[in-house]
Structure 1
Amino acid sequence: MPDVAQIISAFNAGRDPERLAMKYKAMRGSPFVFLRGTCHLFYERLPRDKVLDNAPPVWICGDMHLENFGSYKADNRLIYFDNNDFDEACLAPGLYELVRLLTSVLVGASALKLSRAQALALCHTAVDAYGAALAFGKARWIETETAVGMVRDLFDGLASRTRIAHLDRRTTLKSKARMLKVDGKKALPVSDERRAAVTGFMNRFAASEANPDFYRILDVARRIAGTGSLGVDRYVILVEGKGSPDGNYLIDLKEALPSSVAPHVGTPQPKWRSEAERVVDIQRRNQAVSQAFLHAVDFNQRSYVLRSLQPSEDRVALSDWDGKLSRLEAVINSMAELSAWAHLRSGGRQKSSIADDLIAFGNRRDWQAPLIELATQCAAQVAADWKTYSEAYDRGAFDLPVKA
Structure 2
Amino acid sequence: MKASSIAEREASGRAAREHSKRSSHRSVGELQRDPVELIKQSSEGRVEKLVPLRYGRMAVSPFTFFRGSAIVQAHDLGEIPNTGLVMPICGDGHLMNFGGFATPERQLVFDLNDFDEVALGPFEWDLKRLVASLVVAARHMRLSRGVASDLVMTAVTEYRDRMTQYSQSGALDLWYERITFERMAETALTPERRRTVRRGMEKAAGRTHESMLEKMCEHVGDQLIIRDAPPALFHVHGANTLYNPEDSWFKSTNWKKLLAPMYEEYLKTLAHDRRELLSHFTAQDLVFKVVGVGSVGTRCLVMLSTDHMGKPLFLQIKEARQSVISRYFKAPTLKHEGERVVRGQRLLQAASDIFLGWATGPAGRHFYIRQLRDMKLSANIELFDNDLLQGYAQLCGWVMARAHAKASGKAIEISAYIGRGDQFAEALTDYAFAYADQVERDYDSFLKACRNGDLEARTDEDMAADFRI
What TM-score, normalized by structure 1, do the two folds share? Answer: 0.88
Partner of 1:112: 141
Would you say how many aligned residue pairs link Structure 1 and Structure 2?
Answer: 391
- Please say if residues 135 and 362 of structure 1, whose CA atoms lie closer than 8 Å, have aligned partners that are also in contact: no
Partner of 2:408: 347
Letter of the 1:319 partner, please give it. Answer: E
SS of match in other structure, 1:190: coil
What TM-score, normalized by structure 2, do the two folds share? Answer: 0.77
Tell me how far apart the structure 2 counterparts of residues 170 and 19 of structure 1 sit (CA, whole Å): 21
Partner of 2:351: 289
| Gap change, CA 1:152 and 1:328, over 3 Å in 2 | farther
Partner of 1:170: 216
Between 214-223 and 248-257, the greater mean CA deviation after superposition: 214-223
| Gap change, CA 1:244 and 1:222, over 3 Å in 2 | farther
Letter of the 2:37 partner, please give it. Answer: Q
> Within 5 A, what are the aligned runs for 1:220-369?
220-240=286-306, 242-243=307-308, 245=310, 247-265=311-329, 268-300=330-362, 301-310=364-373, 314-321=377-384, 323=385, 325-348=386-409, 354-365=410-421, 366-369=423-426
SS of match in other structure, 1:147: helix
| Gap change, CA 1:254 and 1:106, over 3 Å in 2 | same
Letter of the 1:391 partner, please give it. Answer: K
Shift of 1:143: 1.9
Shift of 1:158: 1.4
- Please say if residues 187 and 236 of structure 1, whose CA atoms lie closer than 8 Å, have aligned partners that are also in contact: no
The runs of 5 or more residues in structure 2 that have no matched partner are 1-31, 186-192, 238-249, 269-274
* Cα shift readout 1:227-283 (whole Å, capped 9, x = no counterpart): 11111111011012x3453x1111010111111112323xx5224141111111111
Larger Rg: 2
Shift of 1:205: 4.9
Establish whether residue 89 from structure 1 lines up as the match of residue 122 from structure 2. no
Tell me how far apart the structure 2 counterparts of residues 273 and 48 of structure 1 sit (CA, whole Å): 25
Tell me how far apart the structure 1 counterparts of residues 77 and 199 of structure 2 sit (CA, whole Å): 35
- Please say if residues 348 and 406 of structure 2, whose CA atoms lie closer than 8 Å, have aligned partners that are also in contact: yes
Between 206-215 and 300-309, the greater mean CA deviation after superposition: 206-215
Shift of 1:374: 1.3
Establish whether residue 62 from structure 1 lines up as the match of residue 91 from structure 2. yes
Establish whether residue 200 from structure 1 lines up as the match of residue 260 from structure 2. yes
Letter of the 1:16 partner, please give it. Answer: V
Letter of the 1:154 partner, please give it. Answer: G
Partner of 1:351: none
- Please say if residues 118 and 340 of structure 2, whose CA atoms lie closer than 8 Å, have aligned partners that are also in contact: yes
Tell me how far apart the structure 2 counterparts of residues 355 and 313 of structure 1 sit (CA, whole Å): 29
Between 230-239 and 132-141, the greater mean CA deviation after superposition: 132-141
Shift of 1:174: 5.1
Tell me how far apart the structure 1 counterparts of residues 315 and 226 of structure 2 sit (CA, whole Å): 12
- Please say if residues 70 and 316 of structure 1, whose CA atoms lie closer than 8 Å, have aligned partners that are also in contact: yes
Partner of 1:71: 100
Shift of 1:172: 2.4
Letter of the 1:375 partner, please give it. Answer: A
* Cα shift readout 1:172-202 (whole Å, capped 9, x = no counterpart): 2456753112101541221262624544246
Shift of 1:370: 1.2
Partner of 1:144: 181
Tell me how far apart the structure 1 counterparts of residues 208 and 334 of structure 2 sit (CA, whole Å): 38
Partner of 1:18: 49
Tell me how far apart the structure 2 counterparts of residues 25 and 197 of structure 1 sit (CA, whole Å): 34
Tell me how far apart the structure 1 counterparts of residues 291 and 381 of structure 2 sit (CA, whole Å): 19
Letter of the 1:103 partner, please give it. Answer: A
RMSD of Structure 2 on Structure 1 (CA): 2.6
Shift of 1:127: 0.7
- Please say if residues 117 and 324 of structure 2, whose CA atoms lie closer than 8 Å, have aligned partners that are also in contact: yes
The runs of 5 or more residues in structure 1 that have no matched partner are 349-353
Establish whether residue 375 from structure 1 lines up as the match of residue 451 from structure 2. no
> Within 5 A, what are the aligned runs for 1:382-401?
382-399=439-456
Partner of 2:59: 28
| Gap change, CA 1:103 and 1:196, over 3 Å in 2 | same
SS of match in other structure, 1:392: helix
- Please say if residues 202 and 216 of structure 1, whose CA atoms lie closer than 8 Å, have aligned partners that are also in contact: no
* Cα shift readout 1:301-323 (whole Å, capped 9, x = no counterpart): 332101111389720121222x3
SS of match in other structure, 1:231: coil
Shift of 1:157: 1.5
- Please say if residues 88 and 121 of structure 2, whose CA atoms lie closer than 8 Å, have aligned partners that are also in contact: yes
SS of match in other structure, 1:33: helix
SS of match in other structure, 2:121: strand
